[in-house]
Amino acid sequence: MSLIGILMAGVFHAAALFLLTSGLQLVFGVQRIVNLACGSLYALGAYVGISFTTWALAQGLPVPMFPLALLAAGLVVGLIGLPLERLISTIYKRPESFQLLLTFSLILVFQDVLRFFWGANPQQLANVAMHYGSVSLWGAQMPAYNVFVILLAIATAVGLGWFLGRTTLGKMLRATAENREASAAMGVNVRMVYLLVFTLGTTLSTVGGAMVVPTAAVSLQIGVDLVVEAFAVIVIGGLGSMKGAAAGALIVGLIRAAALVLYPEVEVLATYVIVLAVLVFKPSGLFGKAAV
């Protein structure tokens, strides 16, 4: 594969990773919660996206509209963040390790729920991904839908930046992240902020899963596998930073794309060597605040 081909595959993978990790970063940035179950939410979005879109197409939805069905499915499934936030709120005052424990238990639950409804075989949204044909850039081919996903990730990044930086609600979120008590004293409803942030984070993950699913099959294992990649992204980029999520996703995405072509044995190893190097030499990550 040409260099351009590797670059395009890498950027596409980065776009998927960014959609997954931006939610994780938002939740960590404001609430100091690391959600191990983010991969399971991504998988949930993907599975529901497949079922809903298949149903909608059978109901007569014109094929070119299928991304809308996926988006709707992802957005609606994201509402599962509301009950999950209430569940996790029981351990806000406990030591950090408890978050990892509780969200790990969610992974176990989600994995069997997905298996119960969709079975153990990988699922796929057949025959729509290539509907838009493919585009060719400097001699390398790429499905047009993949370009759409990349644009969606960029739009999400810009939208989040605008939301956090320019709107009143965004300022409230940042204030809560900075100092919870002071914000509460200034009249910020911290409980609502947490509920909102967690649900928004969940929605970003489920939408990511739903939007990426036309390009590849989804299996039960993906929720568990993705956690490891998502962690790589946020460690490289810096916990809680949106810029970090983007930079980390690009680095991980490009490394994986390059390794898959050049030397597949080191696909995961290469990513993790970078992760370890970052942890050793710059523990706060590229854009993070001081670690520990």
Partner 1 sequence: MSTEFTSVALGHTASLRDNKPGWFARRGLQAAIFLGVVALAAVPQFADAYYVSLGIPFMAYAVALLGFNLLFGYGGLLSFGHALFLALGAYASAMSARHFGLTSIEGMLLCAVGVSLLVALPIAFVASRFVGIFFGMLTLSFGMLFYSFLNKFYHLTGGDSGMNVPQPTLLGRSYAATGKMEFLTGPFYYYCLVLLALGVLVMWGIVRSPYGLHLQAARDNEVKASYLGVKTRQVRGVAFLISAVYGAVGGVILGVNTGLADPELAYWTHSGHLVFMAVLGGFQQFLGPVVGAFVFILLQDELQAVTQYWRFFLGIVLAALVIGMPGGILGTVRALWNRWRKR
> Closer CB to partner 1, residue 73 or residue 88?
88
User: For residues 39 and 106, what is the distance between their CA atoms, to the nearest angstrom?
Assistant: 11
Q: How far is the CB of 164 from partner 1 (least distance, A)?
A: 22
**Helices marked H in 119-167:** 144-166
User: For residues 198 and 35, what is the distance between their CA atoms, to the nearest angstrom?
Assistant: 10
Q: How far is the CB of 32 from partner 1 (least distance, A)?
A: 8
Contact 129, 145 (CB under 8 A): yes
Contact 19, 205 (CB under 8 A): yes
User: For residues 145 and 56, what is the distance between their CA atoms, to the nearest angstrom?
Assistant: 19
CB atoms within 10 A of CB 6: 19
Q: How far is the CB of 49 from partner 1 (least distance, A)?
A: 22
> Closer CB to partner 1, residue 189 or residue 221?
221
The interaxial angle of helices 222-237 and 242-262, nearest 10 deg, is: 120
Residue whose C-alpha is closest to residue 290's, from 254, 215, 239: 239
Q: How far is the CB of 9 from partner 1 (least distance, A)?
A: 20
> Closer CB to partner 1, residue 97 or residue 168?
97
Counting every residue, how long is the chain?
Answer: 292
Contact 240, 28 (CB under 8 A): yes
List residues binding partner 1 (CB under 8 A): 34, 87, 90-91, 94-102, 104-113, 115-116, 224, 227-228, 231-232, 235, 239, 264-269, 272, 275-276, 279-280, 283, 291-292
> Closer CB to partner 1, residue 119 or residue 165?
119
Q: How far is the CB of 96 from partner 1 (least distance, A)?
A: 4
> Closer CB to partner 1, residue 142 or residue 235?
235
Q: How far is the CB of 86 from partner 1 (least distance, A)?
A: 11
> Closer CB to partner 1, residue 35 or residue 146?
35
Q: How far is the CB of 126 from partner 1 (least distance, A)?
A: 27
User: For residues 53 and 127, what is the distance between their CA atoms, to the nearest angstrom?
Assistant: 12
Looking up tokens 């980029």 gives: 237
> Closer CB to partner 1, residue 82 or residue 268?
268
User: For residues 108 and 111, what is the distance between their CA atoms, to the nearest angstrom?
Assistant: 5
